[in-house]
Homo-oligomer: A and B are copies of this chain.
Amino acid sequence: MRLVFLGFGTVGQGLAELLIEKKAELARKYGFKPTVVGIADMLKGNVYNPNGINLQIALAYAKAGKSLNKLTGKSIDGDALAFIKQAKADVLLEATYTDIKTGEPATKHCRAALNAGMHVVTTNKGPVALNYPALQRLAGRKKKKFLFEGTVVSGTPMINLIRTTLAGSAITEIKGILNGTTNYILTKMEEGMTYDAALTKAQKLGYAEAVPDADVLGWDALAKVTILAGVFFGAKAKPFDYSCKGITKITPQMITKAKKAGKRFKLIGRVWLKDGKVKASVGPQQVPMTHPLAGVSGATNAVTVTTDTLGDVTVVGPGAGRVETGYSMLIDLLHIGGVL
């Protein structure tokens, strides 16, 4: 299996580290022996080598700020699309920056790779939230896989859980804490901090961006909700078609009041069926302390899936992180390899 990395930031590097660290085990246990033949990054340069790139050296170059063009192999002129067209590979690993409003340029990358006969694994929410039906159809026509475990709750199994271990179940609702940053802020506010102090702390810890809008206004959770609605309920709506409220209007007073009533404020992303129609929303909700989602604190994520076979099944795990998101791509690769 020949792999091409597009985007070699934290997620791509996280996967590269796992491929190095687990090389012997993956070969022994699953007969899985991938070769990385290309790496392209907007800032770090690119290299293509059909004989395989030494990942250890590539990682060292990336970390030292040294151009990938200097690695053994050839570098390809032009943009990412040119790279995809010239690189001969079996799988494109798309880990470029998410643009939740346009889904670009990642959607173009996915489309080009599928058209070139590659499977696509992505951690980029943009293409899946905005163009899932079209990309899935294209993948189907090309008999290739389009996988994206990392777009929702990082490597914590969510997409694959529903697809494989809950197969044959009818899903009527999916709801959860889909954004770690806001959950961290709400947890700190419950401990007594103001919203501003909690946000500043989240920024210091690297949980929140300098411009925290995508998290605190609910957009990141909204992208994930849209993905779940599209993939598991066949919805065709775009993210901003759904109602979306963030946590910026939650006050310490509201949190105290909820606590007294045995409840806890959580930013809940939710998709459900009502009279056969798909509904979805993101907004703060008061969750009863007895619900598994209430106990999820800090930057952790959690999702409750309501099924006809098992009632509620909840999964709690990390929603972000270098290795965690890198791992989501590894699990998708193992599925493509058909080794599970």
Residues of chain A having any CB pair with chain B under 8 Å: 18, 22, 25-26, 29-30, 154-157, 160-161, 163-170, 289-292, 294-297, 302, 309-318, 323-324, 327, 330-331, 334, 339-340
Give the residue of B156, B165, B170, B310 whose beta carbon is less than 8 angstroms from that of A313: B156
User: Cα distance A259–B331 when bound, in Å?
Assistant: 40
Give the residue of B157, B164, B311 whose beta carbon is less than 8 angstroms from that of A340: B164
Give the residue of B165, B294, B312 whose beta carbon is less than 8 angstroms from that of A157: B165
Give the residue of B25, B295, B309, B324 whose beta carbon is less than 8 angstroms from that of A292: B295
Count of identical protomers in the assembly = 2
Q: Are the CB atoms of A324 and B295 closer together than 8 Å?
A: no
Q: Are the CB atoms of A313 and B315 closer together than 8 Å?
A: yes
Q: Are the CB atoms of B169 and A327 closer together than 8 Å?
A: yes
Known: A316-B292, A316-B313. A161 touches B168 (CB 8 A): no
Give the residue of B292, B296, B309 whose beta carbon is less than 8 angstroms from that of A323: B309
Output the nearest chain B residue to A18 by Cβ-Cβ distance: B309
Q: Are the CB atoms of B313 and A317 closer together than 8 Å?
A: yes
Output the nearest chain B residue to A309 by Cβ-Cβ distance: B327
Q: Are the CB atoms of B292 and A310 closer together than 8 Å?
A: no
Residue of A165, A166, A302, A313 most packed against chain B (CB within 10 A): A165
Q: Are the CB atoms of B297 and A340 closer together than 8 Å?
A: no
Contacts of A330 in B (CB 8 A): 168, 309
The 10 closest A-B pairs by CB, nearest first: A295-B295, A157-B165, A313-B317, A314-B316, A309-B327, A160-B165, A164-B340, A292-B316, A155-B310, A310-B324
Output the nearest chain B residue to A296 by Cβ-Cβ distance: B292
A-side binding surface: helix, strand, loop or mixed? mixed
User: Cα distance A141–B314 when bound, in Å?
Assistant: 37
Contacts of A310 in B (CB 8 A): 154-156, 317-318, 324, 327
A-B contact pairs, 5 of them (CB 8 A): A25-B170, A29-B168, A168-B331, A309-B324, A311-B318
Q: Are the CB atoms of B163 and A161 closer together than 8 Å?
A: no
Contacts of A163 in B (CB 8 A): 340
Output the nearest chain B residue to A168 by Cβ-Cβ distance: B330
Contacts of A166 in B (CB 8 A): 157, 331
User: Cα distance A340–B340 when bound, in Å?
Assistant: 10
Residue of A294, A309, A327, A334 most packed against chain B (CB within 10 A): A309
Output the nearest chain B residue to A340 by Cβ-Cβ distance: B164
Output the nearest chain B residue to A293 by Cβ-Cβ distance: B295
Output the nearest chain B residue to A158 by Cβ-Cβ distance: B165
Contacts of A331 in B (CB 8 A): 165-168
User: Cα distance A25–B292 when bound, in Å?
Assistant: 30
Output the nearest chain B residue to A169 by Cβ-Cβ distance: B327
A83 to chain B, nearest CB (A): 27
Contacts of A26 in B (CB 8 A): 168
User: Cα distance A167–B18 when bound, in Å?
Assistant: 13
Known: A327-B169, A340-B167. A157 touches B313 (CB 8 A): yes
Give the residue of B18, B309, B316, B318 whose beta carbon is less than 8 angstroms from that of A316: B316
User: Cα distance A164–B302 when bound, in Å?
Assistant: 19
User: Cα distance A302–B293 when bound, in Å?
Assistant: 13
A281 to chain B, nearest CB (A): 23
Contacts of A315 in B (CB 8 A): 313-316
